[in-house]
Copies of this chain bind each other. A is one copy, B any other.
Amino acid sequence: MARKIAILGGTGPEGSGLANRLARAGEHIVIGSRDAARAEETARQLRAHIGGSAQIEGLVNSAAAAQCDIAVLTVPFSGQAALLKQLKGVWNPGTVVIDTTVPLAATVGGSPTRMLGVWQGSAAEAAAELLPAGVSLAAAFQNLGAELLAGDAPLDCDVLVCSDDEKAKQVAMELAARIPGVRAVNGGKLENARIVESMTALLIGLNIRYRVHSAGLRFTGLPAK
């Protein structure tokens, strides 16, 4: 049976954007939400938008987490810890969790170009503390804005993948590379997510200063393959 990818918090713009891109790449997507009806509605809209072959369903977060092979965490930072506590007993061993969370100060009413300090170093490292043994974690996709992920135009961005787990890193890098125009770049250990997360605040600032919606990152000087 084909693998299932849960997008937890998938009714928000970032989550539904990733669902859009991964469903177009042929993945079987389960939108997760606190509210099953909203998850189903987002799934329906995405299917209508993408057309025929898109495999997208909607479930509450816990049901989506329980039946997926890969879970992409796209809730706001303010909801990340509560969701992971709720899901602690739900995960199947072997699940790969990909955290996209950015602790923007906007989460608590501050600026979207400033970061909150997270005691563990990053939202990703905070997530690591709340996952049970047997579930592996990578951090990725933080630098792809929701407006980039909508639609189907090829992107022009690198996605840094940070993880202390080799399998999770490989899964996340392979998944990122399925989005047209994305190159997956090995971002090293999970602790480097603190740098990658803060780069999102910088990109939001560039969007504001240059009056665009689609600032992204490319690394130069890396080997062609």
Residues of A within 8 A of B (CB): 113-114, 148, 156-157, 160, 185-188, 191-192, 194-196, 198-199, 201-203, 205-206, 209-223
Contact = CB atoms under 8 A, between A and B. Distances in A.
A223 to B, nearest CB: 6
B206 A222 contact: yes
A220 B216 contact: yes
Contact of A217 (B148, B201, B209, B219): B219
Contacts of A186: 206, 209-210
A188 B221 CA distance: 25
Contacts of A216: 219-221
A205 B188 contact: yes
Central interface residue in A186, A199, A206, by most chain B CB within 10 Å: A206
13 contacts: A113-B188, A114-B191, A185-B206, A186-B209, A187-B202, A187-B205, A188-B202, A196-B202, A199-B199, A210-B223, A212-B221, A217-B219, A217-B220
Contact of A215 (B196, B205, B221): B221
Contacts of A222: 206, 210, 212, 215
Contacts of A192: 113, 201-202, 205
Contact of A220 (B156, B195, B199, B211): B156
Nearest to A181: B220
Contact of A188 (B209, B211, B219): B209
A212 B223 contact: yes
